Amino acid sequence: MKLFKNQYFKASTQRLKIIVITFNLLCIPLSIISAQQIAILKYNGGGDWYANPTALPNLIDFCNNTIHTALNKNPETVEVGSTDIFNYPIIFMTGHGNVIFSDDEIENLRSYLISGGFLHISDNYGLDKFIRREIKRVFPDLDFQEIPYNHPIYNQPFKFENGIPKIHEHDGKAPQGFGLFYQGRLICFYDYESDLSDGWEDKEVHNDSFEVREKALKMGANIIQYAFTN
């Protein structure tokens, strides 16, 4: 994975400067800096970025117990425009409503992703038209592409021969996994018409069956592993 580029040494916080300089000298890639942390992306626009509060803690617990990660059990929260975003190899985003990125936030998110970071967007109902608009502002020259079923994200450590599983119904459409690829690297995974993060929540929230929740958690584990190893 690529190291931080020179412009990121201009970060405003002393803590980030220390992290960047130290790990650059040791030639350690971005993903190792905070390999035991996942963050929820906090954004503006009115959408409920805080939706599904039990989802990530449950996914973290599942990953620690099944694929032997050592993730901190409580995910952090990070704002789109914060330099703290560079502390996390993967950030998670969901919500049901509007999303608005400022120009500075767009620059910060783009820098994070092309430097080795990874964004997982989970399509809660009502998010799609807003997130597609804002991601296009982040990467005007890139388009979401449907990820083929033979891609590693569907095959390690758990195999999904038909791609992303259907967890919750939205508009009667088939679930799709979309990706943004930058210089050949998958930098953003977008689960559309699937609602993976609903399947990660506590059982009593949606009354999903064990089989449905297990599929969602296994797909989430694939995303986590892919982000940490690529």
Residue 65: inside a domain, yes or no?
Answer: yes
Domain limits at 67?
34-229
CA distance 37 to 47: 24
Residue 26: inside a domain, yes or no?
Answer: no
Residue 209: inside a domain, yes or no?
Answer: yes
Helices and strands (H and E) in the chain: how many: 8, 7
29 confidence band (pLDDT: 50, 70, 90): very low
- Please, are residues 41 and 93 in contact by the beta-carbon 8 Å criterion? yes
Residue 18: inside a domain, yes or no?
Answer: no
Residue 52: inside a domain, yes or no?
Answer: yes
Residue 22: inside a domain, yes or no?
Answer: no
At which residue do the structure tokens 């109902």 appear?
125
pLDDT digit string (tens) for 176-190?
999 999 999 999 999
Cross-sheet strand order for the sheet of 185-192? 76-79, 39-42, 90-93, 118-122, 185-192, 176-182, 145-146
For 161-185, give one letter per residue: b (16+ CB within 10 A) or e: eebbbbbbebeeeebbbbbbeeeee
Mean pLDDT of the chain: 86
pLDDT digit string (tens) for 74-127?
999 999 999 999 999 999 999 999 999 999 999 999 999 999 999 999 988 889
Residue 111: inside a domain, yes or no?
Answer: yes
Number of structural domains in the chain: 1
CA distance 154 to 157: 8
Q: What is the CATH number of the domain that holds 210?
A: 3.40.50.12140
Residue 28: inside a domain, yes or no?
Answer: no
At which residue do the structure tokens 């800096």 appear?
33
